[in-house]
Amino acid sequence: MQRDESNLAWEVWIVQHHPAEGPALLSRAFRETGLLPRLIGTWRGDPLPTADQIGRCCGLVVLGGPQSADSDRNFPTRRAEMDLMAAALEAEVPTLGICLGAQMLALVAGGDLATGGEPEIGWGIVTLADESRDDPIFSGLECRDLWAVHWHGDQLVPPAGATVLGGTERYPEQAFRVGRTAWGIQFHLEADDHWIRSVSAAFPQEAARAEGGAEALLEQTAALERSTRPQRFSVLKSFARGVAQTFG
């Protein structure tokens, strides 16, 4: 697919499924890199670009949400979003799927989903695989243990040929790369204090399932969010730089 250079702005399309689950630190990473994040709130009825319009953006991000990646129930834009992700893969437009978005990317690329059992909610350490040392967005990390916020109950199964970059003991395949320009990350590196408080308020029953309950989750956030932000932001900034370099 040819890129439409005449209409190309430094826009990164960010698909948001729920008002509480915004891009948070990711928007800052894009702005600091000279990119323009364009938020597409499917929850509020914003029109979703079609697959044949993928040449009009320089990057695509699909965020998390309460929907299921493999069901159209309460998810009327699911198939159109997956078509958009498939077009981005074909055109090698830098793509990042987060949580629900990562599960959708896995399905688009030929992977699968499996029932995860006990949900993983709250702060936890992601152990990065050796393959992450040579990955464009993870290679800048000196430490192989990465603090992140988890909020999921399904297990993605990366497609054949994907590079698995890290996971947890309970969910060992949580980050992967497809080809050269697409990443799926089931955990939330973008989460800041406001994001965690908003999501906890929007989904109190799920927040209560964090270790120690919702109050413990917020206490952990006070202790960990600021101190772990540089490491988490480094990954997001590396993705943003990759977008800028690809079409700079």
Q: Is the pLDDT of residue 233 over 90?
A: yes
Cβ count near 215 (within 10 Å) = 12
Mean pLDDT value of segment 223-239: 97
The pLDDT tens digits for 24-58 are: 999 999 999 999 999 999 999 999 999 999 999 99
Q: What is the pLDDT of residue 38?
A: 97
pTM of the model: 0.95
Two tokens at 70? 């493999």
Q: What is the pLDDT of residue 235?
A: 98
The pLDDT tens digits for 104-154 are: 999 999 999 987 678 999 999 999 999 999 999 999 998 899 999 999 998
> With bands split at pLDDT 50, 70 and 90, how would you rate the model's confidence at 6?
very low
Q: What is the pLDDT of residue 165?
A: 98
Q: What is the pLDDT of residue 5?
A: 47
The pLDDT tens digits for 54-79 are: 999 999 999 999 999 999 999 999 99
The pLDDT tens digits for 147-186 are: 999 999 988 999 999 999 999 999 999 999 999 999 999 9
With a pLDDT cut of 90, the percent of the chain lying above it is 90
Cβ count near 121 (within 10 Å) = 22
